[in-house]
Every structure is written in structure tokens, then in C-alpha cells.
Amino acid sequence: MKTIALVMGGYSGEHDISIASGQQVYQSIDKSRYNVYPIVVDREGWYWLADDGRHHPVDRNDFSVTAADGSRVHFDLAFIIIHGNPGENGVLQGYFDTLGIRYTTCGYYTSALTFHKGFCNPVVASLGIVKIAKSVLLYKDHFNSNSQFSILNSQLSYPLFVKPAAGGSSVATTKVKSPDALMPAIQAAFEQDDQVLVEECIKGREFDCGVFRKADGEKLVFPITEIIPKGGHEFFDYEAKYQGFSNEVTPAECDERISKHIQTVSSQLYDLLGCRGIVRFDYIYDTDADELYFLEVNTIPGQSAESIVPKQARAMGISPAELYEMAIEAALES
């Protein structure tokens, strides 16, 4: 029986979201097939959270824990469910590569690239299969509010989105409708990251699509989901995502041509960006121009009960337990 480290938590504002995802995965994994150890990554220390609530420290020299009987537990696989730093940006992947431990996510290079929106967007644009909104990447150490303000207003059209270049869950993301609100939004984003992306808002419908490649090489492209904010929320912000201020319709109620196009682009991006594991791609479809715009890649999408990818999998007849077993087996074969 394989021994699995279910790695959750992390150092970012998405820590609690990761814990919720990890708990869902832990409840779903078949314990008769795998020995599963919930491992919490926290700035105060890494530990195995035992079923009795006790914390057992992780030896980061070899990523092992000591059981109650004094035996050392080593892991065959890390099931990474950390959103943000250090799980989604390549840091943990590099660590596990060094130790020779397999894991369920994209590799180090793909994780690092896709986590940084300012670096990923030009790469995706160069592929020529989907459009990218116009944007400007700002650097905190070289930021001059007066000169940058002029550049942004001359190069971009309002409304704008201001967001940390490397972050997730729409933390510190602001929709800016006028010049007087731009600088406060930039400063708020700089509190989360040293690099900030300012990009034009594309008016349209938001769609998400999950993709996964099984151990036998078969690629699953999930039914797409439409995100419809409600309760006064103009976009899929933090509250809309996690406090119920959105409707997430799966499968999306849209023209089959649009659905197929989104699935095709997602399948292509999965391969061209070198993705592994369960990945979700987010888009805006400009209904007026009939154009699809890429938003971002989520290489470790949420796995809580109400998260998008589990809903998409269920729409294909795949239960969470089956999905996570497939993810484990694919990673063990990698």
C-alpha cells in the first residue's frame, strides 16, 4: 500500500482555503488503498496532523515524520493541495524533485511560470491560440507613481483590473473604473506582491475548464463552467468565490461552438505549457467581438465540496474519490 502525504496550508492568504480543499481530499481518498497523512505547511513549522489532533513535526531534511511508536514514515507521493506560496509557484516542486519524491502537480518550471501572470501571459499570447488582454507589469522597486500613472493612462483603457502578479483567489484584486481609484488599487496590490499587473477589463462571460491526463495517457477535458457573480459583485472576487456571491453553472449554458472552442484551447494549453495533474484554465468570452480571452492557469485548483473542478468531474460521472485516485496513480506513473 502506497503512503501518501496530503500537503496543505501554505504561506499565503489562501492558507485556510487550502486547508478546506485538503480536508475534502482527505475525506474522499480511499483509505483501504492508500495510507494518507495530512501534512500542514505553516510558517511556524511543518507537521503531520494526526487523527487525534496531535501535531508531529516533519523532518524537512528527508520529508519524513515519526509515528507514535517511534518508527519513521517516508512517503511514496506528495498530493499537493497548497494554493499560492509555496505549493503553486514551484517551490515545493523543486524541493520534492531534489528529494526524488513524486507529486501530483505540474513540475517546477511550469508551476513557476503559470503562477506569475505577468510572465505567463506573454508566453500564452505567443502561442497564437487565444487572446490576451492588454496589460502593464509594474515593479515595486522601480515604481514611480507620476510617470507610471501617465504611462498606464496612455496605454490602457478603463475599466482596469489591478492584481498581484503572483497570487490567487483574487486576493488584493481590484476593478478600477476611473483614474482617481488607480493608485490606491496599485498600492493595495503591492502589499501582497512586489510585482503588480494592470490589465484592461474585457467585458463578457467568464468560463472555466478543467483538464487532466490519466496514467494511461488519456486526457480528460471537463465540461466548462460559467461564473456568474451576484449580490452586487462585478467580477469573481474573493467574496464571490468563497462566500456564495456567485452562481457557477456546470455544464455552462452556452452555444456548443463556444463550449467546444474553450475545451479545445484548454486541451492545447495543457500540452503546450507542459502541465501535469489536475489543472483549470480561466477565460473571458467577449460576446460582442466573439473572441476568447485567456485569464489565468490554476495548476492547483480548489478541491472543496463546492469547488469548480470537482463539480465538472461529477458532470462527467467522476466522483471526487475516483478523481483523486486517478491523480495519485498518474503521479506514481510519472
On the question of pLDDT at 47 being above 60, the answer is yes
What is the arithmetic mean of pLDDT over 235-259? Answer: 74
Q: How confident is the model at residue 146 (pLDDT cuts 50, 70, 90)?
A: confident
Q: Are 279 and 303 in contact (CB under 8 A)?
A: no
Beta strand 174-176 with 55-59 is unpaired
Nearest Cα to Cα of residue 12 among 169, 235, 121: 169
Q: How confident is the model at residue 242 (pLDDT cuts 50, 70, 90)?
A: very low
What is the arithmetic mean of pLDDT over 90-100? Answer: 98
On the question of pLDDT at 71 being above 80, the answer is yes
- Kindly report which listed range (66-75, 91-100, 107-116, 261-270) carries the lowest average pLDDT score: 66-75
Residue 284: exposed, middle, or buried by beta-carbon count in 10 A (0-12, 13-18, 19+)? buried
Which cell is 129 given? 491560440
DSSP 260: H
Domain topology for 2-104: Rossmann fold (3.40.50)
On the question of pLDDT at 243 being above 70, the answer is no
The predicted structure's pLDDT at residue 167: 66
Which cell is 185 given? 488599487
Query: Which of 15-19, 51-55, 110-114, 141-145 is most confident?
Result: 110-114
Residue pLDDT, tens place only, 272-293: 999 999 999 999 999 999 999 9
CA dist., res. 321 & res. 314, Å (int): 11
On the question of pLDDT at 234 being above 80, the answer is no
The predicted structure's pLDDT at residue 168: 54
Q: Are 21 and 302 in contact (CB under 8 A)?
A: yes
| Chain centre distance of CA 235 | 17
On the question of pLDDT at 235 being above 80, the answer is no
199 DSSP β-pair partners: 135, 161
On the question of pLDDT at 170 being above 60, the answer is no
Beta strand 34-42 with 2-9 is parallel
On the question of pLDDT at 316 being above 80, the answer is yes
Q: Are 298 and 183 in contact (CB under 8 A)?
A: no
On the question of pLDDT at 182 being above 50, the answer is yes
DSSP 60: T
139 DSSP β-pair partners: 195
On the question of pLDDT at 59 being above 80, the answer is yes
CA dist., res. 253 & res. 42, Å (int): 40
DSSP 166: B
**Angle 100-104-108 from CA coordinates, rounded to 5°:** 60
The predicted structure's pLDDT at residue 260: 98
Which cell is 194 given? 512586489
Q: Where are the domains of the chain?
A: 2-104, 112-132+203-333, 135-200
Q: How confident is the model at residue 3 (pLDDT cuts 50, 70, 90)?
A: very high
CA dist., res. 95 & res. 255, Å (int): 44
The predicted structure's pLDDT at residue 33: 95
DSSP 305: T
What is the arithmetic mean of pLDDT over 77-91? Answer: 95
Helices and strands counted in the chain (H then E): 10, 19
Domain topology for 135-200: Dna Ligase; domain 1 (3.30.1490)
| CATH number for region 112-132+203-333 | 3.30.470.20
61: Cβ contacts below 8 Å, ≥ 6 apart: none
Give the other-Cβ count within 10 Å of 86's Cβ: 20
What is the arithmetic mean of pLDDT over 301-305? Answer: 87
Q: How confident is the model at residue 233 (pLDDT cuts 50, 70, 90)?
A: very low
Q: How confident is the model at residue 153 (pLDDT cuts 50, 70, 90)?
A: confident
Residue pLDDT, tens place only, 209-223: 999 999 999 999 999
Helices within 29-107 (DSSP H only): 91-99
The predicted structure's pLDDT at residue 109: 96
Which cell is 120 given? 505567463
The predicted structure's pLDDT at residue 165: 87
What is the arithmetic mean of pLDDT over 51-80? Answer: 94
Name the average pLDDT for the chain. 91
Share of the chain above pLDDT 70, in %: 94
219: Cβ contacts below 8 Å, ≥ 6 apart: 211, 212, 213, 267, 270
In which residue are the cell numbers 467568464 written?
A: 206
